[in-house]
């Protein structure tokens, strides 16, 4: 049995350090990327309060086979949009720019894709391998401005850890 639980007394930076440690322990030596993404989505949900969606979109071929787009991966939350073109919405912006997107108010983000009407703020961090975006980590919250610089740095650390594990 795995029992990774954050201590309620930890401050947000410590929670992210514990999350990273748990993700490292769970994914070390496991070559199956889907299993690793599934466990990390569960950890994100366990460790970070006030989320309504946590998970992955992966870079994958389009249905017609030419070019790539983001395709839904393991997550916790309500069923979500399956395919997101690079450049579309917050996830697509992170994938296209290869940069973290910290959005305090999703209603003010041009092109935001509302998968769950409850989402008010969002953090999306690209996972890079050899400079290419292989996935994004997407966190949604029902609270405005839920995410800050500590969350962005923490999830960027997680993305770096997962670069060769998903």
Among all chains, which residue has been given the structure tokens 């092109």?
Answer: 111
| 41 forms part of the interface with ligand SME (CB under 6 A) | no
**Nearer Cβ to ligand SME, position 114 or 160?**
114
Strands (E), the chain: 53-61, 68-77, 83-84, 101-103, 121-129, 132-141
Question: Considering the complex, what minimum distance in angstroms separates the CB of residue 113 from ligand SME?
Answer: 4
Task: Decide: is 152 part of the binding site for ligand SME (CB under 6 A).
Answer: no
Using CB under 6 A as the binding criterion, the count of chain residues that bind ligand SME stands at: 15
Q: Does 56 bind ligand SME (CB under 6 A)?
A: no
Contact flag: residue 33 with ligand SME (CB under 6 A): no
Residue 81 binds ligand SME, judged by CB under 6 A = yes
Structure tokens at 19: 């999350």
Among 113, 118, 150, 152, binds ligand SME (CB under 6 A): 113
Least distance in angstroms from the C-beta of 145 to ligand SME: 16
Contacts with 140 (C-beta within 8 Å, 6 or more apart), sequence order: 51, 52, 53, 54, 77, 106, 115, 116, 119, 121, 122
Q: Counting Cβ atoms within 10 Å, is residue 115 exposed (0-12), middle (13-18) or buried (19+)? A: buried
Regarding 123 and contact with ligand SME (CB under 6 A), the answer is: no
Which residues contribute to the site for ligand SME (CB under 6 A)?
A: 53, 80-81, 84, 89-92, 112-113, 115, 119, 122, 138, 140
């Amino acid at each position: 049995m795995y029992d990774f639980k954050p201590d309620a007394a930890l401050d947000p930076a410590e929670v992210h350090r514990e999350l990273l440690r748990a993700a490292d322990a769970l994914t070390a030596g496991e070559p199956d990327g889907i299993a690793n993404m599934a466990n990390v989505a569960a950890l994100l949900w366990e460790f970070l309060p006030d989320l309504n969606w946590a998970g992955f979109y992966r870079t994958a071929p389009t249905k017609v086979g030419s070019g790539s787009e983001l395709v839904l991966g393991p997550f916790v939350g309500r069923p979500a949009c399956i395919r997101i073109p690079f450049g579309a919405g917050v996830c697509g912006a992170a994938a296209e720019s290869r940069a973290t997107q910290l959005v305090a108010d999703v209603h003010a983000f041009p092109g935001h894709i509302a998968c769950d009407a409850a989402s008010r703020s969002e953090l999306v961090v690209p996972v890079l391998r050899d400079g290419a975006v292989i996935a994004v980590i997407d966190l949604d919250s029902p609270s405005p401005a839920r995410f800050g610089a500590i969350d962005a740095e923490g999830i960027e650390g997680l993305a770096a850890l997962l670069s060769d594990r998903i």
